[in-house]
Structure 1
Amino acid sequence: MAQNWTSVIEGEIEARHAEISSINQQIHANPELAYEEHKAHQAFVSVLISLGFDVTPHAYGVETSFSAEFGAGGRLVIFNAEYDALPGIGHACGHNLIASSSFAAFLGVAAALKASGLPGRVRLLGTPAEEGGGGKLKLIDAGAYKGASASLMVHPGPGHHLPDGIRGVSYVKMLANVKFRIHFTGRESHAAIAPWEGVNALDAVCLSYNAISMLRQQIRPYERIHGVFRSAGDRPNVTPANCCVEYYVRSQTRVQAERLWQRVFKCFEGAALATGCEFSIEPLNSYADVRPSSVLCKTYLEVMEQGTVAYSEPADILAGSTDMGDVCYQCPGFHGVFGIGTKDGEENHTKGFTAAAGTEQAFTRAVECGRGMALLGFKVLADDEYAEHLKADWESDMKLAAEGR
């Protein structure tokens, strides 16, 4: 990449520091839950319009999504801006920082496209409801990622997991997550006068719980099964007739998670059979595994400050699952992680992480990553040979994914 376009990207991000910082502060100070991110949506739409971009509010049929685009022809690169928070603890996953880094990257690539006159399009996509709401799944279904050559974002994690001098990790895989709600239906009875008349749905819940606990002994080290009781009866003297549990089943790939779910399903099926209950399954928003493009991840290392980003270590910088995994099945994806400092070493989804996500240091790290993503995204648009290599590598990986590898 020619040095002058790098200077343009860096200069634009620096020039728009006030706008990026304002978005970051507004989102962090006004935490909103999944599909309720009206203030974040409006803040983005307003500032993007003021900067002269073509903006679509309420994009792709999702009330709190937006889409801003610049350029024409050529390839399309999408930056994802997340901004939903968690109940009770605000931005404990640092989505304000994700939004800020993607905003910075979008501005940088747009400036480079304008200055270079090259064909290509860059899109900043507002992606609400990552925290369990599956916002990107709705956007995928509506065609938001159709024709994209790459989709990029970065995510904050606990910096104390990183070695000295390392501020981020480029290649981070995350688990597929199959989610279900299970309803057991029995028959009510008076638990003292005529217990024999009842069919106890809570017994089915407990049997399935114990069966799953035993199953955990026979699963792979990276696999996870965890659940909660949503309803387990109302009064001790009434045989519970309607009980509900919710379970997440995670594994290394989407195919493997589905296979594990079939084993978990038998635990519910057996519990219903043993207790005489009926049962039904309600699918929830399941997330595919994050399969980052190794091509994008290696290039990100090259464009970031030398020695500050590791390729794939440590493995525990960010775990869990995200709907960005499903995006990786639509086009080559990048989901790098950067570390932020927490006062007492707290992890994501804690109040301590919320406080850390609001610091100036964390914002500086986010913008630093935005610069790297901008350089990476512009390379996808400007370098034909690189883009072809990226596409071929992704297509090969999708064949592996279909085999559950």
Structure 2
Amino acid sequence: MSTTTSVTAKAAVQERLARHRSAVLALSAQLHADPEVAFEEHRSAARVSAVLEEAGFDTVVGCYGLPTAVEAVYGSGSFRVIICAEYDALPGIGHACGHNIIAASTAGAALSLAAVAQELDLTVVLLGTPAEEDGGGKVLLLNAGAFANAHLALSAHPTSGVDIDCSGTSSQGCDRFHVQFRGKASHAAVAPSAGVNALNAATVAQVAIGLLRQQLPDGVRINALVTAGGSAINVIPEHAELTLEVRARDAAIQNDVTHKVLLACEGAALATGCSWSTEQPSPGYLPLRQHEGLLKLWNRNLTATGRTLIRPPAGGGGGGSTDMGNVSQAMPAIHPVIAVLGSQGMPHTAAFADETCGPDADAAVMDAALALAWTVVDAAAAPELRASLCQARDERWRLADALAVGE
């Protein structure tokens, strides 16, 4: 495919996006006004689906085992692109992470790419992914095969203030788990020696984790919260519980530190005579691995919308965690940021929630939609990049087949 093809296709994409502007921005406003939390996004999923269905996409609400997941497909080309929508909100403060912007911009990108799906031999998929904030919807979808046939996946996340060049940045992987300690209750004054103090186990575990921090690589974060530890001062507590979190920018380090933290809990149980158990209520999030070639295209295309990208300081950027990290570890993907220009609130605050609806938020929706769609056009029209993405998918298939045979 030629440069001329790419230029012509980009013009067609921009024209179609302009025609759908009202529907795309209405979607963002509707989601913002009616926030729904993780796994409860029934109205949000229906709204996303309706916009795509109206534009001729084959849509399903409730797929891959998740009632609030959406899959909307246009075209039947050999190059399959998944654009990931998020639409869950935060409890109490609504769309303080701007997922209404993500949903609307990705819907806009998918709608606009329908104009060139046949020309570029595309299958365009808008995948609505529930529960990014709490529950790991993309991890569940990944495990269920929703991404298996795709050549690439992409979306863009809103941020505050200015646009950032995400080259060389990542996100923190995150493992969260609950640890329970079980002891034996007794009267703390009359017969303390007859008890086994579960809260002591939780305390020893926290001390051990605190000492462990000296030997951890830079950038690792461990957080601990006592969520149960007794209810009466004169009763030896028989049950205590910790909620623990491990964050790291490298998947191997994340796994190693999680293992060491759990060993500290096991040692605390042994030292105090308690039994212990652990559970991970939701999938762990892995660090984001941006595909360099796709990210260069995104940077160029976002700049072409009139925005200026700022390089963050060394070691800066990517402080949070996202289940898009798991997708990016499994296949070529990008998840850069788009600024709500001039916003003052930080994400995950009530102030930013207020700023994710309005003219500046609408500009973020439209610019992100256009840059995402143009990035897909460039990837599909560049012979070498397209071939490498096809090769990467074929290699994933071969690996999956080998693992299946091994089982």
Between the aligned partners of 2:390 and 2:245, the Cα distance in structure 1 is: 32
Q: Deviations over 1:377-400 (max 9, x none)?
A: 12333333221234668999xxxx
Residue pairs, 1:42-57, within 5 angstroms = 42-57=46-61
Unaligned runs of 5+ in 2: 396-407
For the Cα contact (< 8 Å) 1:77–1:380, is it kept in 2? no
Partner of 2:296: 298
State the distance in 2 between where 1:104 and 1:243 align.
48
Give the distance between the partners of 2:11 and 2:357, measured in 1 at CA.
28
TM superposition score normalised by structure 2? 0.90
Residue 203 of structure 2 aligns with which residue?
A: 206
Q: 1:400 is matched with which residue?
A: none
Structure 2 residue aligned with 1:22: 26
CA offset digits 1:204-247 (Å, max 9, x no partner): 11111122122223222211111212212122222111111111
Provide Cα deviations, 1:23-58, integer angstroms capped at 9, x if missing partner: 101111111110000110111122222222111110
Candidates 171, 175, 196, aligned match of 1:174: 171
Paired with 2:149 and 2:51, the residues of 1 have a C-alpha distance of 27
- Is 2:10–2:377's contact at 8 Å kept on the other side of the alignment? no
Q: Residue 325 of structure 1 corresponds to which residue in structure 2?
A: 325
Task: Give 2:399's aligned residue.
Answer: none
Q: How far apart are 1:152 and its partner, in Å?
A: 0.4
Give 1:341 deviation, angstroms: 4.5
Give the Cα separation in 1 of the matches to 2:310 and 2:392: 17
CA RMSD of aligned residues (A): 2.1
How far apart in 2 are the matches of 1:255 and 1:207?
26
> Is the CA contact 2:345–2:351 (under 8 Å) kept in the aligned structure 1?
yes
Distance 2:202 2:172 in 1: 26
Counterpart Cα distance in 2 of 1:141 and 1:372:
28
Give 5+ residue unaligned stretches, structure 1. 397-405
Partner of 1:93: 97
In structure 2, C-alpha distance between the alignment counterparts of 1:283 and 1:91, rounded to whole Å: 26
Identity of aligned residues (%): 34
2:123 & 2:40 partners in 1: Cα distance?
29
Read off the aligned partner of 1:266 and give its amino acid letter: L
CA distance in structure 2 between the partners assigned to 1:394 and 1:191 by the alignment: 62
Aligned to 1:120: 122
Q: 1:77–1:381: 8 Å Cα contact kept in structure 2?
A: no
- The answer to whether the 8 A contact 1:59-1:67 is kept is yes
User: Which of 58, 69, 92 is the aligned partner of 2:62?
Assistant: 58
SS in 2 for 1:21: helix
CA distance in 1 between partners of 2:284 and 2:211 (Å)? 24
Q: Please give the residue correspondences for 1:2-401 in structure 2 after superposition, counting only pairs within 5 Å.
A: 2=5, 3-114=7-118, 116=119, 118-159=120-161, 162=162, 167-171=163-167, 172-284=169-281, 285-306=283-304, 308-310=307-309, 313-314=312-313, 315-341=315-341, 345-390=344-389
**Alpha-carbon distance in structure 2 between the residues aligned to 1:238 and 1:364:** 59
Query: Match of 1:58, SS?
Result: strand
* More divergent stretch after superposition (187-196 vs 169-178): 169-178
Distance across 2 between alignment mates of 1:394 and 1:49? 28
**Contact 1:296/1:390 (8 A) holds in 2:** no
Query: What letter is aligned with 1:123?
Result: V
Whole-angstrom CA distance in 2 between matches of 1:379 and 1:202: 58
Q: Which amino acid aligns with 1:175?
A: Q
- Equivalent residue letter for 1:18: S
Change (3 A) 1:311 1:120: farther
